[in-house]
Amino acid sequence: MPRETLIAGFQFEGRRVPVMSPQQGIFKPAIMELPLSLTTVPVVPGKERPYEDEIGEDGIRYRYRGTDPNHRDNAGVRLAMLRRVPLVYFHGVVPGRYQAEWPAYVAYDDPGSLTFTVLVDTRVSFQGQGDHVAEDGREETRRYITAAVQKRLHQRTFRQRVIAAYREHCAICRLRHQELLEAAHILPDGHPRGMPSIPNGIALCKLHHAAFDAHIIGVTPDYQIEVRSDVLVEEDGPMLLHGLQGFHGATLRTPRNEALKPSRDFLAERYELFRRSA
C-alpha cells in the first residue's frame, strides 16, 4: 500500500483518521484511546533505520519508542496487550510502500530489551494475563503463525526490493510492466545461502523467470546470458527466436549500485547447475 494513502486515512463521522503517522512507528489517532498501528520502516541500503525491528522465531520483535518504558506510546501498546486489542502492523517493503498485516496482537512486553513481541494471525488465542504477558495458548499455533507471517513478509518484501533495484524492468528483455515482473532467486529459498536479499535476486519477466528456473537460460558470473544448447538449435517460431534464442550472448542488465548487483559467487553456483542440465 502507498504511504500517502495510509497517512491520508479515511473519514469517520466528519473527521479524518490517518492509519499511519509520517513521523513515528507507534500511532494513535486523536479519536482513539489506544494505538491503531505499528510501523517498521523499509530497509534502505546505506541508511540506518531509527529502530531495528526484527522478525524472529518468536514473532516480530518491535522496539519501544525511545528508552522510557513508560512513554505514552509504549504505555499505549502495553495497554493494548493487556486488553488483547488487535493493532495493524505495517511492514516497510521499499520506500513509500508498506505491507499491511492484521490483526496484530502484542503477546509479550520486555522492558529489559525495550521490545514488544507481536504475533499476526486471525487465530491467536490467549490464556492468563499479567503485566508483561498476554500470549497465545498453543505453542504449535504460535510457530505456525510466525512462520507464515515471516514467509509472507519476506516473499513480498524480496519481490518489491528486487524490482525496485532493477528500476522496474526485466534484466534480460527490459520489459517494464510491473504486473509481469517477478523476483527470481539465484540460490533458492531452501539453500543455506538462499536468503531473500537483493544480491540473491534478479528482476525477470514471467517468461524469463520460468526459463531461468528451468535452466533453459543461464547467467555466468560475468553477467553473460546463455541459452541451453538444445533450445538454441530448436525451430519453433518467432516467440522462441525473439523471446529466448535472441538473448544468447547478451549481457544481463544489473543495478547501478554495486552493492545491489547479483552476487558473482551465487551466480557461479547457479551456473554450474545450468551447465549440468545442458
> Which has the higher per-residue pLDDT, 132 or 260?
260
State the average pLDDT over residues 181-194: 90
What does the longest C-alpha to C-alpha distance in the chain come to?
Answer: 71
Q: Could you write out the DSSP letters of every residue in 120-146?
A: E-S---B----SSB--BS-HHHHHHHH
Beta strands in 80-238 (DSSP E): 87-94, 97-110, 115-120, 181-185, 201-205, 217-219, 225-227
Q: Which CATH architecture has domain 3-162?
A: Roll (2.30)
Structural contact between residues 90 and 98, judged by C-beta atoms closer than 8 angstroms: yes
pLDDT for residue 59: 77
pLDDT band at 57 (very low <50, low <70, confident <90, very high): low
- At residue 121, does pLDDT exceed 80? no
- At residue 135, does pLDDT exceed 60? no
Q: What is the CA angle 208-214-218, rounded to 5?
A: 65
State the average pLDDT over residues 67-88: 94
Structural contact between residues 63 and 73, judged by C-beta atoms closer than 8 angstroms: no
pLDDT for residue 88: 95
Q: Model pTM?
A: 0.63
Grid coordinates given for 222: 560475468
Grid coordinates given for 3: 504511504
Domain boundaries, the chain: 3-162, 168-277
Structural contact between residues 165 and 196, judged by C-beta atoms closer than 8 angstroms: no
CA 17 from centre of chain? 27
Q: Return the number of other C-beta atoms located less than 10 Å from residue 69's C-beta.
A: 14
94 bridge partner residues: 97
Encode burial over 96-120: b for 16+ CB neighbours within 10 A, e otherwise.
ebbbebeebbbbbbeeeebbbbbbb
- At residue 126, does pLDDT exceed 70? no
- At residue 197, does pLDDT exceed 60? yes
Type of residue at 260: L
Grid coordinates given for 111: 522492558
pLDDT band at 195 (very low <50, low <70, confident <90, very high): confident
- At residue 79, does pLDDT exceed 50? yes
Structural contact between residues 52 and 60, judged by C-beta atoms closer than 8 angstroms: no
Instruction: Classify the C-alpha dihedral 199-2-80-69 as positive or negative.
Output: positive
- At residue 131, does pLDDT exceed 80? no
- Residue 46, classified by CB atoms within 10 Å of its CB into exposed (0-12), middle (13-18) or buried (19+), is exposed
- At residue 203, does pLDDT exceed 50? yes
State the average pLDDT over residues 34-46: 88
pLDDT band at 128 (very low <50, low <70, confident <90, very high): very low
Instruction: Report the C-alpha gap between 205 and 70 in whole angstroms.
Output: 50
Ordered strands of the 59-63 beta sheet: 26-27, 37-40, 87-94, 97-110, 115-120, 59-63, 54-56
Structural contact between residues 61 and 117, judged by C-beta atoms closer than 8 angstroms: yes
pLDDT for residue 51: 75
Average of per-residue pLDDT values in the chain? 87
- Residue 150, classified by CB atoms within 10 Å of its CB into exposed (0-12), middle (13-18) or buried (19+), is middle
Reduced to 3 states (helix: H, G, I; strand: E, B; else coil), residue 88 is strand
* Digit-coded pLDDT (tens) for 1-14: 999 999 999 999 99
pLDDT for residue 140: 58
State the average pLDDT over residues 81-93: 91
